[in-house]
Amino acid sequence: MEIEQIDKLLGKYWNCETSLEEEQLLQQFFSENVVPDNYKNVAPLFLYTHNEQKEKLSDSFDEKLNQKIEERQKKYITIKLFAPALKIAAMVAFILALSFSGLFWINSTKKQHFAETYNDPLAAYKEATLALDKLSLALQKSEKASLETLVQLNELNVDWDFIDSLNMEIYKNEEEIELKEEQNLKL
Amino acid sequence: MSTERFHEIVLPLKDKLYRHALSIIRDRSEAEDIIQDVLLKLWDKKKELSQIENLEAYCYRATRNLTLDRLSMKSFRKTETLDMKSFELTETTTPQTLFENKETASIIEQCIDELSETQKSVFQLREMEGMSYKEIAETLDLSQDIVKVSLFRARNNIKSALLKKDSFIKETKYGNRTNR
């Protein structure tokens, strides 16, 4: 390329008036030819951009990326396959969590009723035994007394049929009185 | 989008996206991590990708957003210039010119670092990826006028930095001669 043409192109380049093809020509000129002295100040720019165009990802990049993609695919397939099982497991976990929290709440409310009043377990045991002995004695006494009463009643030889008939008569008399009162009210 | 279509359309963009991330974050391993994350995110929602009109622009935007996020999250700061892989000895270069080129590359990088994020991205997409103004505007969601202005400023900032460096070298040489 002639020097005049280079001058012209460079002028256009700094004013952003060059086409992509013209910029390509400049880059070729500065990277392939021995650059004349008067262009040595700007030549490194074209050499720099020319070199930057060669930057590429490392050779191991594709391998790493494919590995990551495969991992993602496997994960996706596993999730897809086990999605129903995961849903069931989530439901079970939810129900269990609810039950446990319910139990925990009930236990925490019950604690107040069964609050410990004795610090010494042996003393608590003794007190409980004494109370139960007293209760047992009282029950035994009342049982004995009721049996004695029953024996005494049997020994009285009461005519229970006669007492029942008396009761029936009283009942009939009461009914008759009530009927008479009703009739008087109607009149 | 099917897995096959993803491999055909999205994956071939990986090097372009990497260069775009690299132009912002200036760290190769970090840029590589970002591209892996971007591609995995795109993979996760590959079913939605078929509805996107300009998929390449969408991928660029996803890369740009994630890179800027990473940059702000980690308060990532570039501490040294990238090792210029391709500034190597050729038939026309001598160790002296190689050293000078590396030094100049570092000045260019410093200059790019000082550009705004928009100017940086516009410059990268035009100079490294050879995109038209229209394509850049679509990719960065900007108007074509803003793209042109950003590119003009980016190029001229770099030009003045290079000219300043050149005049400094000339002055030093001239000074050395007079001292002799």
Task: Read off the pLDDT band of B108 (50, 70, 90).
Answer: confident
Q: Domains, chain B, ranges and CATH?
A: 3-73 (1.10.1740), 95-179 (1.10.10.10)
Question: Is A44 in contact with B35 (Cβ distance < 8 A)?
Answer: no
Chain A CB contacts of B32 under 8 Å are 57-58, 61
* Nearest CA-CA distance, residue B74 and chain A, Å: 22
Chain A CB contacts of B166 under 8 Å are 40-41
Q: What is the pLDDT of residue B124?
A: 93
Question: Is B162 in contact with A57 (Cβ distance < 8 A)?
Answer: no
Chain B CB contacts of A57 under 8 Å are 14-15, 18, 32, 35
Report, in angstroms and rounded to the nearest whole number, the Rg of chain B calculated over CA atoms. 20
Q: Would you say A40 and B92 are in contact if contact means Cβ atoms under 8 Å apart?
A: no
| ipTM of the complex, rounded to two decimals | 0.77
For the cut 90, the answer to whether the pLDDT of residue B114 exceeds it is no
Mean pLDDT for all residues in chain B:
81
For the cut 70, the answer to whether the pLDDT of residue B169 exceeds it is no
Per-residue pLDDT tens for A77-136?
Answer: 666 666 777 788 888 999 999 888 888 888 777 665 556 677 788 888 898 999 999 999
Task: Read off the pLDDT band of B180 (50, 70, 90).
Answer: very low
For the cut 90, the answer to whether the pLDDT of residue A30 exceeds it is no
Q: What is the pLDDT of residue B178?
A: 45
| Position with higher pLDDT, B169 vs B53 | B53
Highest mean pLDDT among B94-108, B145-159, B165-179: B145-159
Q: How far is CA B91 from the centre of its chain?
A: 28
Task: Read off the pLDDT band of B62 (50, 70, 90).
Answer: very high
Residue among A69, A61, A70 nearest B42 (CA): A69
CA-to-CA distance for A103 and A110, rounded, in angstroms?
A: 10
Q: Above pLDDT 70, what percent of chain A?
A: 91
Q: What is the pLDDT of residue A81?
A: 67
Highest mean pLDDT among A28-42, A63-77, B23-37: B23-37
Q: What are phi and psi of A134, to 5 degrees?
A: -60, -45
A45 touching chain B per CB within 8 A: yes
* Nearest CA-CA distance, residue A97 and chain B, Å: 34
Q: What is the pLDDT of residue B89?
A: 45
Chain B CB contacts of A64 under 8 Å are 36
B108 touching chain A per CB within 8 A: yes
In sequence order, what DSSP letters do the residues of B47-103 get, joined into one string?
HHHTT-S-HHHHHHHHHHHHHHHHHHHTT----S----TT----SS--HHHHHHHHH
Chain A CB contacts of B35 under 8 Å are 57, 61
Highest mean pLDDT among A29-38, A44-53, B98-107: A44-53
Q: What is the pLDDT of residue A134?
A: 94
Q: What is the pLDDT of residue A85?
A: 77
Give the start-to-end residue ranges of the domains of chain A: 3-52, 61-98, 127-156, 159-187
CA-to-CA distance for A177 and A53, rounded, in angstroms?
A: 128
Per-residue pLDDT tens for B69-105?
Answer: 998 876 655 544 555 554 544 555 566 666 666 777 7
Question: Is B132 in contact with A24 (Cβ distance < 8 A)?
Answer: no
CA-to-CA distance for A6 and A22, rounded, in angstroms?
A: 10
A75 touching chain B per CB within 8 A: no
Per-residue pLDDT tens for A145-168?
Answer: 999 998 888 888 888 888 888 888
Helix (H, G, I), strand (E, B) or coil at A58: coil
Q: What is the pLDDT of residue B175?
A: 54
B40 touching chain A per CB within 8 A: yes
- Pair of tokens at residue B121: 């991205």
Q: What is the pLDDT of residue A131?
A: 93
- From residue B171, how far is each of A41, B78, B97, B100 by CA, in Å? 14, 31, 19, 16
Of A78-87, A165-174, B64-73, B135-144, give the lowest mean pLDDT range: A78-87
In sequence order, what DSSP letters do the residues of B94-158 get, joined into one string?
-HHHHHHHHHHHHHHHHHHHTS-HHHHHHHHHHHTT---HHHHHHHHT--HHHHHHHHHHHHHHH
Chain A CB contacts of B159 under 8 Å are 14, 42, 45
Mean pLDDT for all residues in chain A:
85
Q: What is the pLDDT of residue B61?
A: 92
Q: What is the pLDDT of residue A23?
A: 92
**Angle subtended by helix axes B14-25 and B28-44, to nearest 10:** 130
